[in-house]
Amino acid sequence: MMDHLLEHKVLLMFQHIDSSDWARLDDHFHPDVEYHRPGYDSIKGLDELRQFYANRRIIKTGRHQLESVFYGPGGESLSVTGSFRGADRAGRDLSVRFCDVYFFADDKIIRRETFFSAPAV
């Protein structure tokens, strides 16, 4: 897959996450997706991923801003750095830097790992 297509897929994924459009997660994530994120058990499969975003993630609203993109060898991986600003489910302000690593299969994200500059959000 071309590197710029991977970046575009991640940008669209964040747009759908930021707008709480959980039905569109299927557009971005492989059915066998694994998501590893500090503070949560590993998430496996699209059903668990949708449940995580809709019910378990402490974030209620916010926006991701990408700052840098790094392409992995072989054209099937990508890493990004950025920031997130928003609010949690209790209404408290959130502001955190993050780094995400993505691996793709069949043009969709099959593995995502997130790292934060602060305790788990």
The pLDDT tens digits for 57-93 are 999 999 999 999 999 988 899 999 999 999 999 999 9
Could you report the per-residue pLDDT of 9-66, keeping only the tens digit for each? 999 999 999 999 999 999 999 999 999 999 899 999 999 999 999 999 999 999 999 9
- Find residue 105's DSSP bridge partners: 108
Q: Say whether 69 sits in a helix, a strand or coil.
A: strand
Predicted local distance difference test score (pLDDT) of residue 84: 96
Could you tell me if 33 and 110 are in contact, meaning their C-beta atoms sit under 8 angstroms apart? yes
Alpha-carbon separation of residue 6 from 13, 57, 78, 90, 114 (angstroms)? 11, 25, 7, 34, 17
pTM to 2 decimal places = 0.91
State the CATH class of domain 3-116.
alpha beta
Predicted local distance difference test score (pLDDT) of residue 120: 63
What is the C-alpha to C-alpha distance for residues 72 and 41, in angstroms, rounded to an integer? 26
